[in-house]
Chains A and B, each alone.
Chain A
């Protein structure tokens, strides 16, 4: 969606996806807290963490945004806002949304259980060290941020509706 009218929707929409991914990963971690083996992989289940990255070209992006915020291809000179410094059709990244990548963490919690089929020679079993409190708070905060982004989308929708009624 390159249209400037919908760029708020894109930013907030991608942020919604990131928060949903966070909830997915936390629930996956909790569900696999007792997983001691995974087919085709050594060791127990690896804890998955979401790492968020800011929009690209952070340095100059205030300016980029200013430059591109009100881009029109052909218009009367006086209809242009001075926000738009030039109009050379430069291809720039206008995406302001965060991006997230999944990182696997190998944190192991040892438990003594010699009868367990996955125990080692010392009778210790390796479990993933899932911090339940951390995962639950991650879910809660992701949930709230999801709501915040929904509010932004709702606000923008109302703004557009208002503008259409002039």
Chain B
């Protein structure tokens, strides 16, 4: 059994990759908010993740990755800012979870909880 690089941590790492990619896409969308002809970038992840959770895709949850696509849909600056805030919270959740994962490993190695 893999302890450090297991499915759980790989899934969290994928999520972190996705959110950092999404931050990048949002930075580009906000920087180009009044650039004529610009097509906004979107990163999809959650939908495929929930389908993988239901077992509909035949993929494991740690095999789901974020995907970038351009969209011709026009969005307001407020929407982008909301999504940025949302992405930031998600990043925090995932990093906290990953930290928790390693803390648990550490306490298993040491044999007593970390102070």
Contact = CB atoms under 8 A, between A and B. Distances in A.
Interface of A: 7-8, 11-12, 14-15, 18, 52-55, 58, 61-63, 65-66, 69-70, 78, 81-83, 96-98, 141, 144-145, 148-149, 151-152, 155-156, 158-159, 162-163, 165-166
Interface string B69-91: 11000000100110011011001
B99 A165 contact: yes
B6 to A, nearest CB: 11
Task: Give the size range of B's interface with the partner.
Answer: 35 or more
Question: Chain A contact residues: over half helix, strand or loop, or mixed?
Answer: helix
B11 interface: no
Nearest to B99: A166
Contacts of B28: 11, 55, 96-97
B25 interface: yes
A98 to B, nearest CB: 5
Question: Chain B contact residues: over half helix, strand or loop, or mixed?
Answer: helix
Given A82-B65, A148-B33, A162 B92 contact: yes
Given A70-B17, A166-B102, A62 B31 contact: no
Contacts of B21: 65-66, 69-70, 83
A139 to B, nearest CB: 14
Contact of A156 (B27, B37, B68, B77): B27
